[in-house]
Structure 1
Amino acid sequence: MKILKNIKVLKRIFVAIGSVVFLLLLFPRCAKVVSPTGGPKDTLPPVLINSIPKINSTNFNGDKIVLEFDEYIKPKELQQKLLVSPPLKNRPIPQLKGKKLVLELLDTLKPNATYTFYFSDAIRDNNEDNPINNFVFSFSTGNEIDTLVLKGTITDAFTNKPVENALVMLYDKALDTLPYTTLPLHIAKTDKDGKFTAVNLKPTSYKVVAITDKNSDYLYNQGKEFIAFYDSLLAASTQNDSAPAAIKMRMFTEELPNQILSGYDRPERYMLTLHFSRVPINGFKLHPIDSTSLTDWYIVEPDNNGDTLTLWISNSELAKRDTLMTILNYYKTDSLYRLLPQRDTLRFLYYETEKQKSTDDTLKKGFSLTTSIPGDKAVIPNIPVEFTLPKPALSVDSSKILIFNQTDSIVEPDVKLEADSINPRIYRFYKKWEVGKTYHMLVLPMAFTDIVTQTNDTLEVKVNGADPEKFGTLTLNLTGVKNKAVVELLNEKATKVIAAKIAKGNSFVKFDFIEPGKYQIRIIDDANGNGKWDTGNYMKHIQPERVFYYTDEKTKGVISIRANWDSELQYELKP
């Protein structure tokens, strides 16, 4: 009996141990820590659930706006992005109170006006930064709320790219001076695609002007800001399908209206500089103060913009003066914006360095010529060869420029040098370099003698005539040209002009000897026929000249040129 009892005790012990082992194996599996999934990510923006005043309500006369959302929010760049129409002189002061945004109004609101608050994407939720895109809040201080709209697109007049954040200003009068002096009646801003929509407008016609409002004063600062304008008044419309199409406006910068002399200098003994605020209208005259009748004592070289002028002194007696007193006669804009004759006394000083003082004027050193001939590429027929001098030439002797045809062992005919019509330091000549032939060009001393009587150093260049089979050609059949057009071959990114041609009326424009690669074509509708693009003038109601960039479904604007290949394209300048 005792043995049997012991066996029962042992069985209970084994059962207990087995149960404990089972539980130990079971519980770790059940107690394993797993991160909570938390559900799907929040991708929804905040929702406006209440407001004071109610959205699109009437007869509001309060001094605070309260916007309540369904979740906590965090405004982002609210002061920069918030736009109020009609514009307020003082920006509202924002306060964030949990799920509420309070805007304290510092201005007294106009009576019987519909106010629109454009928030863009400034209102976002606190956790995931989800924005309310194009959030607009409106109310009226009168008995009715206006509901009409006016839509449009603004592009850069020269690049045709959309202009973002342009301020669109609407007026209910046609006076041209309004953008300079008066806050607009309504405003809107363009998005990244250059599109705008002015909402809550009255059933009337509006003058529409757009600017890049750099100082946020809602006024046009001529010469400092871009401008676009529509040529006639525009009627606001409903948002239904029968509404007029969106207007298109092209933005440009005007030439500075004021003409003043902004500075002058004498960086070299033989060089004077005059800095004007714009290309000087009616020209100018500069005279030594003791020789007012003296003429032709300087040579003018304008910069690319034409407002900074370099005057090279060609009179050695005047150049030797360390202090040169002069009288400048030009036209200056007065306080009433009138262009009137002006007479200024200018004192040009030259401070000679020790190195310059030690130079013996009787031992003139030769100067180096710069040539447009590429060092590692073949030259193209009838593309001018240019020589650029450090100073303008006093005399030129083209007989000192010799070209040897080494392939045929002959001397080529003398070149005919032509002076550049703008830059007095540039001379060029044309030559039909023959394919596959090697030339040796030799420029001897005294080919060019500059205004300080220095002559050029010897210049030797080896030239190979270009093989047309290594280049491509491009012919453009251009139609829709009323007067003239400037056709420009650009690099792939349209940052550099490779070559330019003038088209007179509808015509074929051919570019040859194009290096294989990718290009674009820009076409300027040259309405005044001066061979360049001209900007607009707001007060004179002159729009900038139209610019087109060739494109089609196949090329998307980028044209591939292959060696020994002729490409033909067609393009029409549409009204």
Structure 2
Amino acid sequence: MAEMNQKRIFRYIPLIPVAAILASVLFSPSCANTTEAPKGGPKDTIPPVITRIVPPPGTVDLPVKGTQIAFTFNEYVTVKEPKGIYLSPPQTKSPKFRIKGRSVIVYFEEDLLPNTTYTLDISGAIADNNEGNMFPGFTTVFSTGHTIDSMFVCGTVRNCTDLKPIAGATVLLYKDASDSAVFLKRPFASSRTDAWGYFSVRNIQDTSYRIYALVDANGNNMYDPDEDRIAFLDTAFIPKRVVRDSLPELMKYDPKDTLLCQSRQNDFVLNVFREKPSKQMIVNSKRLSDRSCYITFMAPGARIDSLWFQGYPSSRVITEFNIQEDSLLLWLNVQRRMPDTLNLMVKYHKTDTLGVLKPFTEKVPIYVEGKAPSRTERKKVTHTDTICPLKIVSSPETVEQVGFAIEFDFPPILGYFDSLSLVSVNPRQQEAVEDFTIERDSLNLRRYVITPKNKLMPGYDYKFKVPHRIFQDINGYWNDSTQTKITLPNDESLSTLVLDLRNVGHKYIVDLLDEARKSVLRTYTIEKDTQLLFPYLKAAKYSIRITEDTNRNGIVDSGNLLEHRQPESVIFMTFNGSESINIPERSEIVQEVDFSSLFRN
């Protein structure tokens, strides 16, 4: 019976008045001496229980100097995670602690603020000495003034791209409505999220606030754009709920208790993102080969007026930006021997000391890494050193959607595309020449996409061949012949998912992911009503992510705090209440999706 009582306390301990906790301990059978290892019997799996708090929760008129809070437990404990001891409003220095007997005494190196309500949370910080059973947590409240503030706000913090909850994020409330407050000041009140990304900022004033969430890299409770990720609410709000210990939103639940943890309501859901840097400059460069290198910029959208290598005409430079335009690949289309150091001259818009973008010409020396090869080593040339390297990329599961691709290591400067061939072989081993289209990737000048014109047939083999010496790259080398063979999957156990998309108002990115949301298996970009086909799926659970591509650039864009711009909206489709769809063997599942209701605010 005593064990059952203590298990109940483990689940609901923050809601039970300290006097009731003390009574449950006093009237239960006494335990063995917890300073010694048990002599036998079942392993202790019950977490510590608080028996006394001094001063008691709700104490007012505490001194600003020298205040300390003592938590006494029913057994000897240790502080396993000091960061779990969290004071709100936070101070410059984190709370300190010492252990005395069965008590953890928390004290503060700085004076408290006058006439201020404080909460001190010890969730995820304390474990028993012997077995390491974690104490689920407790939040005590006290004040240096005459009253205790009584309002609270709660919600969930998630990652903006996969919508997974973020544990240990810091939620900050500011009465200062200026945009600069989160950069320069510590908050009026704050809290940390639990394992479910859930937070409650309790015992706050009935007034207007701005709310933010930080993945706070250095733990200073202020926003550092170079290190932290952030979420924010567009408008100020006034809390509407009053603290009552019986509310599920204020309870400390066992994180493994899914039903109870998910039963808590949200006032807000905050989606965390990493801001794009605002300062622009060249931050890195690297020589990749004799004739190739790259440079990277601090911020995306780099504006380059001109660039050239000293001693070479700018017309001989081939460039390729990535889609964010913060990384630039360069090749020097010159066949003579290259020096160990190439001096790249870049005229671009750089951020000056006043934070203003101004034209600036920068010299970037790019060196050969390691020891330069000797004359003897340069004479040791193998066949692979004198060919134009390329590969054919294809997959039986996706060839119908994305075709074949030829990917070069170096930009080709000469190519006889008419010599490429695609041949089908039917089950009777009869060959036929297939027509196809060729298109260079708009984002990668070294990648060409080959798309068959006719529908590919199950049971047929498709041979795509690149003959010998039809491509020459900037090094002056020709390619070896290579080919690949693709056969559409004919495993009868495979399944198909069809998404019937309706009321598509503008551009969206639709991704098929594994259940863990770690790998993108298929991707479509859509702009109108259509049916998306996902064939050849193994029996498993999958997730469907839909991103609203507001600026139509084909990528998921981050937000910006000072511009009050949220990251582009992402949702995961739900199937009978679940955010994953179970695809059984040998099935075709058709799912209708009404886009007019997906992204309603």
Q: Which TM bucket (shorter chain)?
A: 0.7 to 0.9
Cα gap change, 1:430 to 1:58, in 2 (>3 Å): same
* Secondary structure class of the residue paired with 2:209: strand
2:503 corresponds to 1:485? no
1:366 to 387, 390, 397: 387
Residue matched to 1:81: 84
Residue matched to 2:356: 338
2:108 corresponds to 1:110? no
Cα gap change, 1:389 to 1:91, in 2 (>3 Å): closer
Deviates most, 147-156 or 481-490: 481-490
2:585 corresponds to 1:557? no
Deviates most, 491-500 or 247-256: 491-500
Question: What do residues 64-86 of structure 1 show as CA deviations (whole Å, max 9, x unaligned)?
Answer: 31425364542323531111111
Cα gap change, 1:478 to 1:64, in 2 (>3 Å): same
Contact 1:379 1:464 in 2 (8 A): no
Deviates most, 331-340 or 167-176: 331-340
2:520 to 494, 497, 507: 497
**Between Structure 1 and Structure 2, whose CA radius of gyration is higher?**
1
2:329 to 292, 310, 314: 310
2:518 corresponds to 1:516? no
Residue matched to 2:35: none
Residue matched to 1:396: 415
Cα gap change, 1:358 to 1:114, in 2 (>3 Å): same
* Secondary structure class of the residue paired with 2:190: strand
1:183 to 169, 176, 186: 186
Cα gap change, 1:413 to 1:150, in 2 (>3 Å): closer
Cα gap change, 1:234 to 1:526, in 2 (>3 Å): same
Residue matched to 2:557: 534
2:62 to 51, 60, 63: 60
Cα gap change, 1:330 to 1:456, in 2 (>3 Å): same
Return the TM-score normalized by structure 1: 0.83
Contact 2:572 2:579 in 1 (8 A): no
Question: Counterparts of 1:486 and 1:234 in 2: how far apart (Å)?
Answer: 32
Contact 2:48 2:74 in 1 (8 A): no
Contact 1:379 1:463 in 2 (8 A): no
Question: What do residues 274-313 of structure 1 show as CA deviations (whole Å, max 9, x unaligned)?
Answer: 122233422353223356xx43322223457653322111
* Structure 2 gaps, min length 5: 1-37, 250-264
CA offset at residue 409 of structure 1? 5.6
Contact 1:378 1:464 in 2 (8 A): no
* Secondary structure class of the residue paired with 1:180: helix
Return the TM-score normalized by structure 2: 0.79
CA offset at residue 417 of structure 1? 2.4
Contact 2:171 2:214 in 1 (8 A): yes
Contact 2:322 2:443 in 1 (8 A): no
Residue matched to 2:243: 239
Residue matched to 2:220: 217
Question: Counterparts of 2:434 and 2:74 in 1: how far apart (Å)?
Answer: 86
Cα gap change, 1:157 to 1:90, in 2 (>3 Å): same
Contact 1:486 1:502 in 2 (8 A): yes
Trace 1:153-552 onto structure 2 (pairs within 5 A). Answer: 153-237=156-240, 238-239=242-243, 246-283=267-304, 285-290=306-311, 294-302=313-321, 306-316=325-335, 320-350=338-368, 351-354=372-375, 357-358=378-379, 365-374=386-395, 377=396, 380-381=399-400, 383-407=402-426, 412=433, 415-431=436-452, 432=454, 433-464=456-487, 472-479=495-502, 481-505=504-528, 507-518=529-540, 519-552=542-575
Question: What do residues 286-342 of structure 1 show as CA deviations (whole Å, max 9, x unaligned)?
Answer: 223356xx433222234576533221111335x634443332112222333222222
Contact 1:42 1:128 in 2 (8 A): yes
Contact 1:400 1:445 in 2 (8 A): no
* Structure 1 gaps, min length 5: 1-34
Contact 2:162 2:517 in 1 (8 A): no
CA offset at residue 379 of structure 1? 8.0
CA offset at residue 221 of structure 1? 1.2
For these two proteins, the number of residue pairs brought into alignment is 533
CA offset at residue 186 of structure 1? 0.8
Cα gap change, 1:321 to 1:123, in 2 (>3 Å): closer
Q: What do you get for the CA RMSD once the two structures are aligned?
A: 3.4
* Secondary structure class of the residue paired with 1:430: strand
